[in-house]
Amino acid sequence: MNTRSALRLLQAALFSGLLLAAGTALAAEALEVDIRGIAGAPLDNVRASLDAVTQGADPDLTADRIQALHQRADGQIRRTLQPFGYYRPVIDRRLDAPTAAGEPWRASYRIDAGTAIRVEAVELEFPGADAGATRELQALRPAMSLQPGDVLDHRVYEEGKRALLSGIREQGFRDATLAEHRIELDLDAYQARIILSVATGPRYLIGPITFQQSRFSRSYLERYLVLHSGQTFKPSGLSRQRRLLSSSGHFSDVLITPGEPVPGPNPLVPLTIQLEPFPANRYRGRVGWGTDTGFGLGLDWTRRYLGKRGHQFNAGAAIAEERERLALDLSYTIPLDPLSGSALEINGRHESKDLNFEDVDLDEGGDTRIATNLASLIWHMPVRALGGFSLRSTAGLSLVGESYDIFEVLFGNLPGKAQDTIIDAIGPLAYETLAPEFEAVVPSLSFKFRRSDEPLYIRRGDYLSVELLGTDQSFGSNIDFWQLRLSSWNIWPVAERGRFLLRSNLGYTDAETRRVLGVNFNQMPEYYEFRAGGGRSIRGYGFETLFPDDALTGGKHIAVASVEYEHEFIPDWSVAAFVDAGNAFNDLDDFEEKLGAGIGLRWRSPVGLARIDLGFPLDDAEDAFQIYITVGPEF
């Protein structure tokens, strides 16, 4: 290779290096964008639509392309502000080239959006609809959201069109479409006119209704129907009907299928309701434990339906270690009006528990079993809505029999002759008081008011239960008493993670009290006497261990209150602190308040709130603390 050839090769290499350097320099161009004067959704929309923003970080950006992006920015900004009603923005834009190597181009846009254009009129027409339908559909005008005087927000306009069509179809016009929809702008007057024309088509009606099932009679299922042949076909009506049938407790699956409409001026839509019943029998077992009640077992059997008219049967049994408590329940429910919740319930209950000399702080003695039997007829009245509350009312009549023998508890360790001597000494009335056999016909009336934001975990809710019951010898009873019971819950949210809970329980009884051997005995079944203590009463004390010092079975009155604060520390888990106070008593002058306090852990389980509470008595008690485990909403 000669010298001239070598020089040419060197020149070519240098020229290629220069081109590569220039290319690298061109590829290194960058663009920074600064937008000011607007905020919120308009700013977000501008940044998302502005090419100078979306393409400003491209690796192959050049100076020419940056200038082209800047030239397009004015029109793009104006278009992206129009959906918010801004049609006269003032835009001050500027593009500064780099002043030194490695610096970016800088584009700045100062935007004065100005005044948003407003809607001057909304024209809504239903060509082809008769006068009656037109008047009815004109009532849907508020669904448009945009009304004269409002800012022309195209987002609200689009949502309003969808809501309007949905409302029209809800009135039975299944084929309704927007034949015309436009916005006329008068930028000189700076106002807008919305013009909508809806082709409704015919109004559809509900045709024949068919049930596909074999478990229940048609006449019974028809009592659940809120849809009837000849009614306007409404999609929401189908949803409501499905909810009502699903909530009956009979069906695991409910499917409502509209059939092919029968042609006509008002096409008829046949409905097929497919019902899949639950299994006829449901069995449930329960195992529980608490420091105050010991171990407990429970078993329930529910026959979900008997016959073809929705009758239901339930049997249950529960035992607890503490005082060998036993409860047996039988109930038979006859629905009267399923839609309103009205039903007739026939109920039988047996409840019994031990009472021995140690329970009454004696060194020796005997024992007895307090046994109560009830047979009840209860009318569940229709559920009513009252001032934001749901009101559930019942009226009942119970035949009550109860017996126990306190004399045996006190003197059961003595020989028979000694017992006879004591009976002769205290007299027959005193002995009858110690070993009563109550028989009573007890009518009752109850009202339960409830409202809450959620069924399982309540952030804001109120509950009030009022129950009045009693008996008189004129009813065929061998005792007289009447009683008023009040219980309440109030729950308030505290910030985003807290709840404040207030609970109260009040009871008053008018009944005769007899005093025998220095002890007061209320002439009423122990089943209706009041006792405090436990997880739903005063925590820190054993279950139903608080009652008057001068009584052995309970008190005539009760007053209990509870204050609790709960705070969520991680999702679905909360800690709580509480103070409970109150007691059962026979006379207000002898009321002895007991205090309990403690802490708890809460878990929002799929079936309701699970609680573990550790309660400490602040007054004299047999145990230093109590542990309570409960599941379910407060009310």
Two structure tokens written together for 550: 């001068």
CATH code for position 306: 2.40.160.50
> Do 528 and 438 have their domain in common?
yes
Copy the structure tokens of residue 280: 């006829």
Report the alpha-carbon distance of residue 99 to residue 221 in Å, rounded.
Answer: 84
Per-residue pLDDT, 396: 97
Mean predicted confidence (pLDDT) in 70-86: 95
CB-based contact 244:224 (threshold 8 Å): yes
Show the domain range for 387.
281-631
- Give the angle subtended at the CA of 585 by the CAs of 584 and 590, to the nearest 5°: 135
Phi/psi at 507 (nearest 5 deg)? Answer: -150, 140
Task: Tell me the average pLDDT across 215-231.
Answer: 95
Specify if 20 maps to a domain: no
Is 392 a domain residue?
A: yes
Q: Is 528 helix (H, G, I), strand (E, B) or coil?
A: helix
Same domain, 534 and 569: yes
Give the 3-state secondary structure of residue 436.
coil
Chain Cα centroid distance, residue 572: 15
- Assess whether 464 and 370 both reside in one domain: yes
Alpha-carbon gap, residue 237 to 269, rounded angstroms: 13
Cα–Cα distance measured from residue 249 to residue 371, given in angstroms and rounded to the nearest whole number: 34
CA distances from 627 to 292, 557, 561, 605, 623 (A): 8, 26, 19, 19, 11
What is the per-residue pLDDT for 22?
41
Per the CB < 8 A criterion, the answer to whether 220 and 308 are in contact is: yes
Q: Of 42, 54, 68, 268, which is closest to residue 151 (Cα–Cα)?
A: 42
pLDDT at 57 over 60: yes
pLDDT score of 401: 97
Task: Grade residue 228 by pLDDT with cuts at 50, 70 and 90.
Answer: very high
- Are residue 45 and residue 141 in the same domain, yes or no? no
Q: What is the tally of structural domains in the chain?
A: 4
Evaluate if residue 370 carries a pLDDT over 70: yes
**Boundary (domain end) residue, out of 213, 242, 277:** 277
User: Distance between CA 581 and CA 537 in Å, rounded?
Assistant: 9
- pLDDT surpassing 80 at residue 557: yes
124 occurs within a structural domain: yes
- What value, to the nearest 5°, has the Cα angle with vertex 266 and ends 261 and 271? 35
Q: Which residues touch 97 (CB under 8 Å, ≥6 apart)?
A: 63, 105
**Nearest CA-CA partner of 287 in 631, 634, 544, 633:** 631
Evaluate whether residue 174 is within a structural domain: yes
- Among 129-138, 276-285, 522-531, the minimum mean pLDDT is found in 129-138
The β-bridge partners of 178 are 198
Q: What angle do CA 448, 453, 458 make, to 5 degrees?
A: 80
Q: How far is CA 339 from CA 220, 335, 436, 449, 577, in A?
A: 11, 10, 45, 19, 41
Name the residue among 529, 620, 628 with its Cα closest to residue 578: 628
Among 277, 310, 339, the domain-final residue is: 277
* pLDDT score for 608: 86
The pLDDT-based confidence of 28 (bands split at 50, 70, 90) is low
Looking at residue 445, its amino acid is L
Confidence class for position 85, pLDDT limits 50, 70, 90: very high
C-alpha distances out from residue 97 to 56, 77, 107, Å: 14, 22, 9
Q: Which residue has the tokens 């038979």?
A: 332
| pLDDT at residue 366, rounded to an integer | 94
Give yes or no for a contact between 56 and 62, defined as CB atoms under 8 angstroms apart: no
For residue 161, being part of any structural domain is answered with yes
- In angstroms, the CA 73 to CA 70 distance is 5
Q: Do residues 349 and 421 share a domain? A: yes
Integer Cα distance of 352 and 483 in angstroms: 22
Q: What pLDDT score does 17 carry? A: 44
Look at residue 140 and give its three-state secondary structure. coil
Q: Which of 112, 147, 162 is the last residue of a domain?
A: 112
Strand partners, 271: 209, 258
570: β partners: 573
Residues 126 and 259 in one domain: no
| pLDDT(33) > 50 | yes
DSSP 589: G
Q: Is residue 354 part of a domain?
A: yes
Contacts within 8 Å (CB) and 24+ apart, 14-18: none
Q: Are residues 210 and 334 in the same domain?
A: no
Judgement on whether residues 209 and 194 belong to the same structural domain of the protein: no
Mark whether 85 and 122 lie in a shared domain: no
- Residue with the bigger pLDDT between 330 and 146: it is 330
Q: 319 with 244, same domain?
A: no
Q: Is residue 16 part of a domain?
A: no
Strands 191-199 and 118-125: parallel
- The SS3 call for residue 151 is strand
Average pLDDT value over all residues in the chain: 92
Please tell me the chain's helix, strand, coil percentages from 3-state DSSP, rounded to the nearest 5.
25, 45, 30
State the CB neighbour count (10 A cutoff) for residue 608: 16
SS3 assignment for 81-134: HHHHCCCCCEEEEEEECCCCCCCCEEEEEEEECCCCCEEEEEEEECCCCCHHHH
**Percentage of the chain exceeding pLDDT 90:** 83
Q: What is the pLDDT of residues 422-473, one digit of tens each?
A: 999 999 999 999 999 999 999 999 999 999 999 889 999 999 999 999 999 9
Q: What are phi and psi of 197, to 5 degrees?
A: -130, 125
What pLDDT is stored for residue 8 in this prediction? Answer: 54
The strand pairing partners of 207, in sequence order, are none
Q: What is the mean pLDDT of residues 493-515?
A: 96
Identify whether residues 229 and 350 lie together within a single domain. no
Q: Is 13 inside a domain boundary?
A: no
**DSSP notation for 555-587:** BSEEEEEEEEEEEEEETTEEEEEEEEEEEEESS
Q: Is 591 helix (H, G, I), strand (E, B) or coil?
A: coil
With a cut of 60, say whether residue 219 has pLDDT above it.
Answer: yes
Written as one string, the DSSP assignment of 479-509 is: --EEEEEEEEEEEEEETTTEEEEEEEEEEEE
CATH of the domain at 33: 3.10.20.310
Average confidence (pLDDT) over 89-93: 95
* Number of CB atoms found within 10 A of residue 202's CB: 17
Q: What is the pLDDT of residue 630?
A: 87
- Residue 521: its pLDDT value, please? 95
pLDDT at 210: 96
Which backbone phi and psi does 620 adopt, to 5 degrees?
-55, 135
Whether residue 124 is found in the same domain as residue 78: no
Annotate 334-403 with DSSP letters as a single string: EEEETTTTEEEEEEEEEEEEEEEGGGGT-SS--EEEEEEEEEEEEEEPPPEEETTEEEEEEEEEEEEEEE
Residue 136 predicted with pLDDT over 50: yes
